[in-house]
């Protein structure tokens, strides 16, 4: 495991203020054990705030080799339940996105995971493509939506022609990439003129983030950056985008999934949560609530 000190993703500043100490105890565990819904361990590296622009971030971070390995081998726990949760979120986001796009067009879903959003868009008439670094995720996505196009790869090693897509979706992805600005600039080249970018990220300025503090559920080792509306708008502008709308993310989770997530902490209560997560029927009970994320629509400037 190699950790590296990094500059701010928004302003490239190198002066930081400590916010939360890291919570990772097992420093010998592979970083991949902390990644994805199938993570075996829970925790995060030290959280700091950029003294220049205010971006919240992990610093130090896992190096590029560790990050690539972690995402390449991702799988999902209870994949059918997770797919069902993501399918409901996909339908909500698709309706919202369509208010700006009008008729279906060419869509790329970056970090498509098990393919729920791609499948929902395809059923609605979109020309859809999904991209994800996990071979397991792409294989599962193809099994659920055999008519769509899926490709194994990352933003950094994938090529598409200029203007290949009218809309690019980036749901829960930007906080994972080593260089958000480079990623956004690359995506912009793949968009047609007046193309639309739809994304979601954890919102460090949200009520949930402020209330929960160091126990905010979106503080995860795999999340490198924690934007607020101002810092996200700034990095989007640097990449050639203008924010059109921002709204809170409303997440939908099964009760079993929530208990599994709580069970990843240590202690007596999490141990009880792990046992309760195995109770039959809890995967069919769902809750919807704001977890401190934001959905954003942006257009090319």
Summarize pLDDT for 136-179 with one digit per residue, the tens.
889 999 999 998 999 999 988 899 999 999 999 999 999 999 99
Residue 58 contacts residue 45 (beta carbons within 8 Å): yes
CB 281: neighbour CB atoms within 10 A? Answer: 8
Q: Which one is predicted more confidently, 265 or 161?
A: 161
pLDDT at 267 over 60: no
pLDDT of residue 36: 75
Contact 47, 85 (CB under 8 A): no
d(CA 117, CA 230): 27
Helices (H), the chain: 64-72, 79-101, 116-123, 135-144, 180-190, 207-212, 229-238, 255-262, 268-276
pLDDT for 225: 98
> Using a CB cutoff of 8 Å and minimum separation of 24, what contacts does 117-121 make?
117/86, 117/89, 117/90, 117/93, 117/169, 117/171, 118/145, 118/148, 118/150, 119/87, 119/90, 119/144, 119/145, 119/148, 120/87, 120/90, 120/91, 120/94, 121/90, 121/94
Query: Using 50, 70 and 90 to split pLDDT, how confident is the model at 226?
Result: very high
Mean local confidence (pLDDT), 25-49: 84
pTM for this model (two decimals): 0.86
Using pLDDT thresholds of 50, 70 and 90, give the confidence band for residue 233. Answer: very high
Instruction: Tell me which of 104-108, 146-150, 165-169, 262-266 is least confident.
Output: 262-266
Secondary-structure class of domain 3-300 per CATH: alpha beta
For residue range 270-296, list pLDDT tens digits in order.
Answer: 555 556 556 666 556 556 667 899 999
296 contacts 242 by C-beta, under 8 angstroms: no
- Span 219-228, average pLDDT: 96
Contact 62, 6 (CB under 8 A): no
C-alpha 180/C-alpha 241 separation (Å) is 13
């Amino acid at each position: 495991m190699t950790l590296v000190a990094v500059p701010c993703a928004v302003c490239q500043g190198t002066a930081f203020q400590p916010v939360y100490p890291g919570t990772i105890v097992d420093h010998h565990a592979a970083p991949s054990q902390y990644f994805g819904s199938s993570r075996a361990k829970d925790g995060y590296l030290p959280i700091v705030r950029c003294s220049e622009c205010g971006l919240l971030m992990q610093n130090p971070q896992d190096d590029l080799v560790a990050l690539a390995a972690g995402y390449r081998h991702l799988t999902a726990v209870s994949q059918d339940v997770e797919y069902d949760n993501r399918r409901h979120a996909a339908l909500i986001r698709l309706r919202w996105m369509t208010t700006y796009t009008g008729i279906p067009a060419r869509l790329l879903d970056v970090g498509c995971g098990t393919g729920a959003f791609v499948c929902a868009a395809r059923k609605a008439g979109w020309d859809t493509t999904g991209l994800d670094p996990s071979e397991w995720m792409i294989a599962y996505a193809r099994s659920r939506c055999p008519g769509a196009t899926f490709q194994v790869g990352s933003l950094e090693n994938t090529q598409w022609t200029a203007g290949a897509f009218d809309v690019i979706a980036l749901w829960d992805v930007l906080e994972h990439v080593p260089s958000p600005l480079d990623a956004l600039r690359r995506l912009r080249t793949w968009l047609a003129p007046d193309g639309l970018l739809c994304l979601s990220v954890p919102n460090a300025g949200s009520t949930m983030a402020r209330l929960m503090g160091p126990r905010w559920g979106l503080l995860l080792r795999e999340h490198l950056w924690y934007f607020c509306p101002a810092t996200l708008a700034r990095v989007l502008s640097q990449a050639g985008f203008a924010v059109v709308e921002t709204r809170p993310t409303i997440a939908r989770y099964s009760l079993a999934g929530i208990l599994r997530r709580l069970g990843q902490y240590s202690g007596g209560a999490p141990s009880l949560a792990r046992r309760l997560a195995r109770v039959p029927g809890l995967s069919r009970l769902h809750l919807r609530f704001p977890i401190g994320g934001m959905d954003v629509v942006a257009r090319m400037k």
